[in-house]
Amino acid sequence: MKKLILAAAVAASFVSSFAHAEDAPKPDNEFTFNAAVVSDYRYRGLTQTRFDPALQVGADYTNNPTGLYLGTWATNIKWIKDAGTIAGQSTKGNIEWDIYGGKRGDIGGGFTYDVGGLYYYYPGNTLANSGVKNANTFELYGQVGYGPGYFKYSQSLTNLFGAVNSKYSQYYDLGANIDSYFGTVVGLHLGHQSVHGATAQFSYNDWKIGVSKTFEDLAGITLGVAYVGTDLKDGVSTTPASNGTKNVGRNGVVFSLSKTF
């Protein structure tokens, strides 16, 4: 899930770009590609890969005059298979494929906006075999930014990642990506997930603090490290994304290596 990344970015990766007055203006139509390796794919604080590494790739198109954009992103996952194991059923779904689009631009007074929709597609997933719903999920989102900070709100128009009767679930994301010493970027994030119509255990907070640096002399590769966690208790899961033996939102360190082409 390219979550907050479309706001967006790779789980636990903070990437910075620096604009210079002497740079040539951006083309009307801009295409970029990205690839990353992460030590653990975390989404909203929860591991999606059972704390194992993930390989992630994506592509984006932006029409700069209008601010309209489209993109896609994919990664390996394990949580759907784990959900079946817990339920004593066989479930399939090893890939997450995100498709998104929207519009971003300036509001004025230093404020920016980003609005759009994101579809989380899990090809061939059989999560419903575990007693919940199909994993595929669609969310609308809106974001307001000022300087390095932002606030983003997301709401699902479908069941949220298979949770029963969870339409209109909400996620609140407050964060900042701050330029720091030696060309590093400090990334801060605080989030709250509320699953509509579910029990109290489906509401939780997550956080992330990280630092990254882009090395132009190493082909523009970005290295990142982040400390990620939630307030979930041991043995509690907000989604079927648990292997039954570990807290899927436990605190941990995530390393990332990424590049944008």
In this predicted structure, the answer to whether residue 142 has a pLDDT above a threshold of 70 is: yes
Distance CA(192)–CA(206), nearest Å, equals 6
> 152 or 6: which carries more pLDDT confidence?
152
Give the 3-state DSSP-derived string for 49-71, with helices as H, strands as E and coil as C. CCCCCEEEEEEEEEECCCCEEEE
Closest CA to 55 of 8, 10, 90: 10
Q: Residue 20 — pLDDT band, cuts 50, 70, 90?
A: very low
Distance CA(64)–CA(203), nearest Å, equals 38
> What is the reported pLDDT for 3?
41
Share of the chain above pLDDT 70, in %: 84
Task: Give the helix/strand (H/E) hosting 177.
Answer: strand 170-179
Please state the rounded mean pLDDT for residues 226-246. 66
Please state the rounded mean pLDDT for residues 231-240. 60
Question: What sign results for the dihedral spanned by CA atoms 55, 215, 179, 23?
Answer: negative
Question: DSSP states of 68-109 as a string?
Answer: EEEEEEEEE--HHHHHHHHHTS-----EEEEEEEEEEEEEET
In this predicted structure, the answer to whether residue 143 has a pLDDT above a threshold of 50 is: yes
Q: Express each pLDDT in 147-205 by its tens digit.
A: 999 999 999 999 999 988 899 999 999 999 999 999 999 999 999 999 987 554 478 99
Domain at 29-260, CATH from 3.10.350.10, 3.60.21.10, 3.40.830.10, 2.40.160.40: 2.40.160.40
Contacts of 200 (CB under 8 A, 6+ apart): none
> What is the reported pLDDT for 198?
58
> What is the reported pLDDT for 179?
95
> 87 or 61: which carries more pLDDT confidence?
61
Task: Give me the residue spans of the domains in the chain.
Answer: 29-260
Q: Express each pLDDT in 41-59 by its tens digit.
A: 999 999 999 899 999 999 9
Q: Express each pLDDT in 102-113 by its tens digit.
A: 999 999 999 999
Distance CA(242)–CA(230), nearest Å, equals 14
Question: What sign results for the dihedral spanned by CA atoms 150, 155, 161, 164?
Answer: positive
